[in-house]
Structure formats: C-alpha cells, structure tokens
Amino acid sequence: MKFFESDSLGRVYQLSKVVSLSCVFLLSACALNSDGYVRKLPNDAEVAQYNASVEPEERIVCRLETPLGTNVPRRMCRYIRDIEATSRFHRDQLRRVLR
Amino acid sequence: MQPPKINRAAKPASPRLRSCCLLILACQMLAAASFAADAPDHFSESRAQALLMAGQAALEDGDLALAQKTLGQAIQLLKINEGLYSPEQLAPIEQLMWAQMRSGFWPQLDTSLGYYYWLLQRIEATTLDAQLDIARNIRSLYLEAAAHPSNPMPPRHLSAALRTNWQTLSYIEAILGAEHPALLPWLYDSLILQFIESRLNERKGLTNYLYKTDGGEFISGWSLSRRETKTTNHSIGVSMLDKIETIRHAMLRAEGSSDSATRLAELDASLALYRGDWESLVGDKSVAETYYAKPDGLAPFKEIPRTRNLLPRPTFETNPAVLKARTAAADISVSNHWSERFPDVSQLLIDTLAKNRVRSSMP
C-alpha cells in the first residue's frame, strides 16, 4: 500500500490524520448526557427493531447530519415528531419573514 | 289451593271423535319427527370442520370465491360453537386472509387482519412455537401481498413484513434472552428481508411508511434519501451477521465438543463467505473480494459458488457440503423469479422464508 511506502514524516502525518479522524468519528458516534455519561447511539438494526415495536408517533430516525459551524457529520437520532415539529416551525418562520 | 272440580255430569266422548283426535295427534308427532330427521344441525362441530376443510381445499384449488364463502361460514359457526374468543377461529381466518389477498380484496383483508390481531390479543394460552408459526405465516402473507400485481401500495405490505420479523425478534429476545439460538433463523431472515427491500422497484414512500405510519393512507413529504436507505440496508445486514456470529460462537463455547476447533474454523469461514455475499449484493465489490479470500484457506470452501445470481443464499449453513448443495439449488437463472416488482428475488428464497421452522430447530 502507498501509505506504508511514504517517508517517516509523511507517515507520522498520515497516522496522526487517521487517528484524529478516528477520534472524530468515534466521538460523533457517541452522545454526552447532561450528567456526563457517554452513551452510544443505537445502530440502524437497533433503530429498526425499536421502531417496529412502538407506535408510529414514537418512532425515531438516525441519520448523519452536519451541524452549523463544522464540516464533520455527526450521527443524530431524533423522534419523527420532533423532526416534523422543527420543520413546521422553520417553514412558519420563513413564511412570516417573506410575508 | 283447591283441586279443580270434576264435572261428573259430563258425557263421555264418542269413540269416533276419540279416534279422530288420536289420529290428528299421531300425524302431528310424525310430522315433527320427520322434520327433525331431515333438518341439518347447522351448529354442529362436524359441520364447521367440514366447511373449514372445504374452504381449505378451494383455496388450494384456486377457487378463491368459494374459499372465502365457506371459510367465512366456518368462522361464524366456530364463533357460535366455541365462543367469540376461541382459538379455533385462527386457522380459518388465516386461510380467509390468504384467499382475500390472492383475490386482491384489500379492504376486506384489512378488516380480517384487524379482527385477527384483536383475537390474538385475547388468546393467552398458547405456546411459543404456535406464536412463531403465526408470525411466520403473517410475514409470508404480507410478502405475497407486496408482490401481488394488483396491490396499490406494495411498500406498505413489505414494511409490515419487515416489522413482523423485527417484532418476532424482540419477542424471542424478551422470552428466551438476547443470545438464544432460536433467534438464528429470524436474524438471517432479517438479512434476506433487507435484501428484498433493496430490490423493490417502486420505492416511493417506502421510508415514510416505515417510519411514520402503519396505515393505508398515502404519505408524502419528508423521507430518507435513496443513498441513506441503501446505507441503512447495508448496515442492518452487517449487524445481523454480527449477531449470528456472536450467538454461534457462544453455542460452540457452551458445547465444548472435541471437534470444536474444526467447527469454529468452518463457522469463521462461512461467516466470511456470507459477509462477502452481503457486500457483493448491497455493498462494495472490493470489500466482497477481501471477505471471499478468507474462507479459501479451507479447501472445501473453495468449491462453494459465489456467483451473484445464486445470492443471497436461502439459509445460513456452516457445513461446506450442505452450503454447496443449497447454493447450487438456489440458482435464480434456473429457478423461478418471484415477482416482476422485485427483480433478483427467487421464488425459492420466499418459499424458504415461509418454512424456516426446520431451521429453527437446528442446534
């Protein structure tokens, strides 16, 4: 692989890039509770299994989102009802501004 | 109370009149007796069974109208004879739902499904095997409904099939534990269902149905993108294989047999093969090649075919001889395609899903 053929400085640079990227992805896969505990977000299979057992209004959706101020996407899990409420709110705000 | 007075002064009736009265009475009794002999007992148990058998036979013969009529009568009789909450109704309702689905009577099917679920909630004394049979049957019904050419909303029934499978997994986990071998067939079926979902031509609204509602109304607006859905599909399949690996490893550890090293090697090789299959179907081809290279260390695994039209393999096997034979039988180019709506899905795959009971009893 080309990665292992480069010079030592380049290798260190590449390695640090990989490590920092891994850390970012690792952190983006976790969420911090208000009490400081780090909890892992559910994977897609867990989400599908959960969604199958609850009423439609209780279902969640997890997707990669890129928050404002960063280019690093984060996995976020939200209730469908919250996504729709936020979307409705933003539409109303936009309509009010444009009026 | 005083006894009634006897009119001793009255004259006795003439013998002619008496014989006439006796004749009338005898005629009446004879008529009643002959009527009772001719009239069938509409509420007898044997009549309900006969109707059920006739309905089943009509369903198998493809006479769907007759099947619906006789099965409907059988259900009514069973309600009267056995009670409103009687489990005897389950079998004819299942048959009736199949007849309604094959006829394309969607509102009637919804009504029957509603009644079936309502009844299931009221039947408590039933075994786990019976409940798994019910889940398997309902899942197959939804799948066939999703493939029905006249179905106006196939994604709705497909998502219902997936949901039934997930609910069954949750149920087994709650009853037997999260690492019980009974989960194995259902986990692999989840992977197959994800594959089927990825092959649905008409994907419009599918993610909305999955997330927002179980009902029949059309949902528009917010939805996951095709790319996100594909990623989710892939991720779920990988998670299922991870779970199968965990459970199988735990089983081997618990057995502690003398040939456990060989079986462990076979398990790891077959898992690599299945992971390669999954990458080949819904993931990255280069990753698939990496996985496929792993089982080649074991000679018998080299001979197992990996052509795309043989995938996904209908069952999860670790024995290379069985795996080879079952894979060859699954060749989609020689077996029937299931439905126009789901390209690359063979009838064999659907038939195997319908009878995973055999696999659930494997060690």
- Do A32 and A54 have their domain in common? no
- Do B180 and B245 have their domain in common? yes
Which residues constitute the domain of residue A8? 1-40
Rounded to an integer, the average pLDDT of A31-54 is 79
- Do A27 and A49 have their domain in common? no
Tokens of B307: 């052509």
| Dihedral over alpha carbons B44, B49, B52, B56 (to 10 degrees) | -160
Best residue of A51, A58, A59, A61 to probe chain B, by most B CBs closer than 10 Å: A61
Q: Which of A44, A61, A80 sits opposite B239 (nearest CB)?
A: A44
Task: Kindly give the interhelix angle for B90-103 and B45-61, rounded to the nearest 10 degrees.
Answer: 30
Cα B333 to Cα B311: distance, rounded to the nearest angstrom: 11
Q: What is the predicted pLDDT for the residue at B161? A: 94
| A10-14, B11-15, B157-161, B302-306: the lowest-pLDDT one | A10-14
CATH number at residue B50: 1.25.40.10
Give Cβ neighbours of residue A70 (< 8 Å, ≥ 6 apart).
none
Angstroms from B238 CA to nearest CA on chain A? 9
The helix (H) or strand (E) run that includes residue B286 is: helix B285-293
Cα A62 to Cα A77: distance, rounded to the nearest angstrom: 4
Angstroms from B229 CA to nearest CA on chain A? 10
Residue that terminates a domain, selected from B67, B95, B126:
B126
- Do B49 and B71 have their domain in common? yes
The helix (H) or strand (E) run that includes residue A19 is: helix A8-28
The torsion region of residue B11 among left (phi > 0), alpha (psi -120 to 50) and beta comes to beta
- Do B188 and B255 have their domain in common? yes
Chain A neighbors of B178, CB-CB under 8 A: none
ipTM attached to this prediction: 0.79
Query: How remote is the C-alpha of B249 from its chain's centroid?
Result: 29
- Do B306 and B168 have their domain in common? yes
Q: B137-141: which pairs have CB atoms within 8 A and are 24 or more residues apart? A: B137/B94, B138/B164, B139/B164, B139/B165, B139/B168, B139/B353, B140/B350, B140/B353, B140/B354, B141/B94, B141/B97, B141/B98, B141/B101
B274 pLDDT above the threshold of 90: yes
Tokens of B220: 């528009």
Q: What is the pTM of this model?
A: 0.78
Chain B neighbors of A64, CB-CB under 8 A: 228
- Do A83 and A65 have their domain in common? yes
A38 pLDDT above the threshold of 90: no
Rounded to an integer, the average pLDDT of B313-331 is 83
Number of domains forming the structure of chain B: 2
- Do A4 and A32 have their domain in common? yes
Say if B2 falls within a structural domain.
no
User: Quick check: bond before B3 cis, omega within 30?
Assistant: no
Q: What is the predicted pLDDT for the residue at A25? A: 43
Angstroms from A13 CA to nearest CA on chain B? 26
- Do A35 and A68 have their domain in common? no
- Residues 205-244 in B contacting A (C-alpha not used; CB under 8 Å): 210-214, 222, 224, 228, 231-232, 235-236, 239-240, 243
- Do B187 and B245 have their domain in common? yes
Q: What is the predicted pLDDT for the residue at B334? A: 60
- Do B112 and B164 have their domain in common? no
Residue that terminates a domain, selected from B95, B126, B157:
B126
Confidence grade of residue A26 (pLDDT, cut at 50, 70, 90): very low
Q: Which residues pair with A79 in a beta bridge?
A: A60
Which residues constitute the domain of residue B74? 43-126
Q: What is the predicted pLDDT for the residue at B31? A: 54
- Do A29 and A52 have their domain in common? no
- Do A33 and A49 have their domain in common? no
- Do B86 and B187 have their domain in common? no
Residue that terminates a domain, selected from B76, B101, B126:
B126
The residue among A51, A77, A78, A82 whose CA lies nearest residue B214 is A51
- Do B140 and B284 have their domain in common? yes
Residue bearing tokens 């999860």 = B316
Highest average pLDDT, of B6-15, B210-219, B289-298, comes from B289-298
Number of domains forming the structure of chain A: 2
| A82-91, B14-23, B270-279, B313-322: the lowest-pLDDT one | B14-23
Say if B25 falls within a structural domain.
no
- Do A29 and A50 have their domain in common? no
- Do B206 and B326 have their domain in common? yes
The residue among B103, B96, B215 whose CA lies nearest residue B148 is B103
Rounded to an integer, the average pLDDT of B304-313 is 81
A45 pLDDT above the threshold of 80: yes
Angstroms from B331 CA to nearest CA on chain A? 29
Say if B100 falls within a structural domain.
yes
- Do B52 and B110 have their domain in common? yes
